[in-house]
Amino acid sequence: MEKNNYKLKDLDKLVSLAKRRGIIFPSSEIYGGLASVWDYGPVGVEIKRNVKNLWWKSFVTERDDIFGLDASILMHPNVWKASGHLDSFSDPLVECSETGKRYREDHIFILEVQTKKENKIISIEASDEDEAKNKVKDKILSIIPLNESKSSNNPSPDGGTLSEPRNFNLMFKTFIGPVEDSSATVYLRPETAQAMFVNFLNVLNSSRKKIPFGIAQQGKSFRNEITPGNFTFRTREFEQMEMEFFCSPEEDESWHDYWINFSLDWFKKYGLRDENLMIRKHDKNELPHYSKASSDIEYLFPWSWGELETISNRTDYDLKAHSELSGKDLSYFDQENNNRYTPFVIEPAMGADRSVLAFLCDAYCEEETEKETRTLLKLHPDIAPIKIAVLPLSRNEKLTEYSRNIFDKINSIYETQYDDTQSIGRRYRRQDEIGTPLCVTVDFESVEEDNSVTIRHRDTMKQIRVNSDNLIEAIHDQLKSFS
């Protein structure tokens, strides 16, 4: 696949394209929208479905040691007590004294800057220090996270001063049944992982699989984030692609390394550039309570580096915690070695929405032509929502009939779109902007002379003429040129 040397620096360009071309819309837009909630349009839902299907194919169906699961969003409250979410799943919250706006304490940085007139103390909201620095035009004399500030009078990013931090639980609470009291309290799951732990015995017994093996799941999770933002990067409702890999305690570190490399290769395979990816190992002071070691696969988004996936060594924490609270023995008996142990777990946890966003950012490209700037998405063909567009040169009756036959032939094999509105140039641009790899153009020569059509390549705009009898083979060869 041809390299895309363009680097998207302005996220607003992608947001505009996404709305214009039916990729992602603001949710409930006719009512003014809902902050950081998004709907996938006709094009976007296919991109997301392709990403999820490719993940499932690589992590589940192409392997014989991973099993799928589709668990309920609502679970027994004790699941979240055992996992620690009820007690520790919270973010430190600070509030502006003037506006009442709330921020995550770990997303606020205090800076001393030098302006033309004076030195002053300001605060910036950002996901990390680099992003905070990029938002400041003045000379930076010092920068520290808010939680390291010794002052009790720290400025707010939008005026006023910041309050002392307090913990804010991120789980959404709801009730089962007609009475809203404590006995009916349940939670929308904040992660898909726990369902795989509480179903460990069910999968073990029904699959008759020996360790090592994994359980994978895709599905919605919900977190009442204090400061969602950056388009679909951080939202309160999101979709996860997670896998829990159960192994012996002696093999945990080798399996951890294996899944880090496996995941990184998966992102590269489907188009993310090497220079936009990195592995960041977690420091000890940022490890979750359940983790022995964690590493993030990060992507260089337009605003800064951001997490795509975390691969964690969760040790035997979860199975032991659920064993203790439920009273069920979740250990494993190894017949070959005649010993019993609680398996360790390696967890590759990937965000479907973040992955889609990364693939869109990496694919976004602008090219200068003689007449205009051509915008296109250089998506991998397996991720592209439409593989082939069939474009008759006009709505002439003979062309339409011939083109429809071509469409039916291709659409039985590849996701295909038929488009006969506006000029051929505008139709090419529309297909470029949603990432369609190939366009098949039908003209009068196709019908009246040579029974041939033109195939146009998205990235190079090169065109070849092929006989329609050999069209499927030619399309197959052309699609291979992108990989």
Domains, the chain, with CATH or none: 12-87+175-361 (3.30.930.10), 90-169 (no CATH), 386-480 (3.40.50.800)
Both tokens assigned to 308: 């795509």
What number of CA atoms fall less than 13 Å from residue 4's CA on the CB side?
A: 27
Distance of CA 478 to the CA centre of its chain: 28
Question: With 80 as the cut, is the pLDDT of residue 483 above it?
Answer: no
Question: With 70 as the cut, is the pLDDT of residue 466 above it?
Answer: yes
Backbone angles phi, psi at 225, to 5 degrees: -60, 140
Indicate the pLDDT class of residue 128, thresholds 50, 70 and 90: confident
**What tens digit of pLDDT does each residue of 272-295 get?**
999 999 999 999 888 888 899 999
Closest CA to 78 of 252, 412, 325: 325
Question: With 90 as the cut, is the pLDDT of residue 451 above it?
Answer: yes
What number of CA atoms fall less than 13 Å from residue 173's CA on the CB side?
A: 11
Position 127 scores a pLDDT of 80
What is the C-alpha separation between 430 and 375, in angstroms, rounded?
9
Q: Do 356 and 47 meet the contact criterion of CB atoms below 8 Å apart?
A: yes
Both tokens assigned to 296: 């993030």
What is the C-alpha separation between 366 and 359, in angstroms, rounded?
16
Question: With 90 as the cut, is the pLDDT of residue 168 above it?
Answer: no
Indicate the pLDDT class of residue 243, thresholds 50, 70 and 90: very high
In sequence order, what are the residues at sequence separation of 6 or more whose Cβ sits closer than 8 angstroms to the Cβ of residue 7? none
Element (H, E) at 224: none
Question: With 90 as the cut, is the pLDDT of residue 115 above it?
Answer: no
What is the C-alpha separation between 311 and 347, in angstroms, rounded?
5
- For residues 315-322, average pLDDT: 97
Q: What's the chain's average pLDDT?
A: 93
Closest CA to 155 of 120, 115, 128, 198: 120
Q: Check the CA dihedral 395-401-404-409 and report its sign.
A: negative
Position 391 scores a pLDDT of 97
Position 309 scores a pLDDT of 97
Position 288 scores a pLDDT of 83
Closest CA to 237 of 200, 188, 282, 271: 188
**What tens digit of pLDDT does each residue of 358-401 get?**
999 999 999 988 788 999 999 999 999 999 999 999 999 999 99
Closest CA to 427 of 464, 385, 393: 393
CB atoms within 10 A of CB 203: 18
Position 2 scores a pLDDT of 65
Share of the chain above pLDDT 90, in %: 78
- For residues 230-244, average pLDDT: 96
Position 92 scores a pLDDT of 85
Question: With 70 as the cut, is the pLDDT of residue 458 above it?
Answer: yes
Going from the C-alpha of 369 to that of each of 313, 374, 461, the distances in angstroms are: 50, 7, 11
Question: With 80 as the cut, is the pLDDT of residue 3 above it?
Answer: no
Element (H, E) at 478: helix 471-480
Q: Do 311 and 348 meet the contact criterion of CB atoms below 8 Å apart?
A: yes
Share of the chain above pLDDT 70, in %: 99
Going from the C-alpha of 139 to that of each of 58, 131, 163, 333, the distances in angstroms are: 47, 15, 27, 62
Indicate the pLDDT class of residue 476, thresholds 50, 70 and 90: very high
Going from the C-alpha of 1 to that of each of 4, 54, 254, the distances in angstroms are: 9, 17, 32
Question: With 70 as the cut, is the pLDDT of residue 432 above it?
Answer: yes
What is the C-alpha separation between 53 and 51, in angstroms, rounded?
6
Both tokens assigned to 365: 């490209």
- For residues 339-344, average pLDDT: 97
What is the C-alpha separation between 222 and 191, in angstroms, rounded?
7
Residue at token pair 């990816």: 277
3-state secondary structure of 132: helix
What is the C-alpha separation between 22 and 25, in angstroms, rounded?
7
Going from the C-alpha of 23 to that of each of 15, 20, 210, 239, 283, the distances in angstroms are: 9, 8, 42, 16, 37
Rg (Cα) of the chain, in Å, rounded?
26
Position 1 scores a pLDDT of 65
Element (H, E) at 17: helix 11-20
What is the C-alpha separation between 15 and 122, in angstroms, rounded?
29
Indicate the pLDDT class of residue 31, thresholds 50, 70 and 90: very high
Closest CA to 407 of 481, 472, 473, 476: 472
Residue 186, beta-bridge partner list: 174
What is the C-alpha separation between 368 and 375, in angstroms, rounded?
9
pTM: 0.88
Question: With 90 as the cut, is the pLDDT of residue 104 above it?
Answer: no
Both tokens assigned to 145: 């996270």
Both tokens assigned to 352: 């479907």
- The DSSP output letter for 74 is B
